[in-house]
Copies of this chain bind each other. A is one copy, B any other.
């Protein structure tokens, strides 16, 4: 049993493991976890807002990932989820933290650094006020306030 998950500032992306995610050792391959984080971010910044009629957040590149594998994730017919929140927000970058988990277990914990990028001009940019507001919704409270 673990901490109560999915507090309010966390984005929750639920998904099903695909057969192709399982490797020859019979569990989800370590590489595939980064794909789960990618799809969680895509839902958080694009899919969710688009379905709500909101402006999505685009124009970011991944600068860094850290990931710790906690437990092997075995094939299951039930959904898994990625919970994602913001731990640090700056003018031109921010950090996400993630848990890949179900109700009972955390299979991996990760963080990513994302940088605002102007694809057309091919250079770094600053986040817009709308983007800063969007990112702020997922900002975790400071540890001493939890």
Contact = CB atoms under 8 A, between A and B. Distances in A.
A91 interface: no
Given A62-B30, A64-B69, A69-B62, A20 B47 contact: no
B66 A65 contact: yes
Contact of A66 (B39, B66, B78): B66
Interface string A43-71: 00011001100000000011111111100
Contacts of A64: 66-69
A46 B78 CA distance: 12
A106 to B, nearest CB: 14
Contacts of A29: 19-20, 38
A23 interface: yes
B20 A35 contact: yes
A5 interface: no
A31 B35 contact: yes
A42 interface: yes
Contacts of A1: none
A19 B42 contact: yes
Which of A24, A47, A62, A119 has the most B CB atoms < 10 Å from its CB? A24
16 contacts: A18-B35, A18-B39, A19-B23, A19-B24, A20-B31, A22-B23, A22-B24, A23-B24, A24-B26, A30-B38, A31-B31, A51-B77, A63-B68, A64-B69, A65-B66, A66-B66
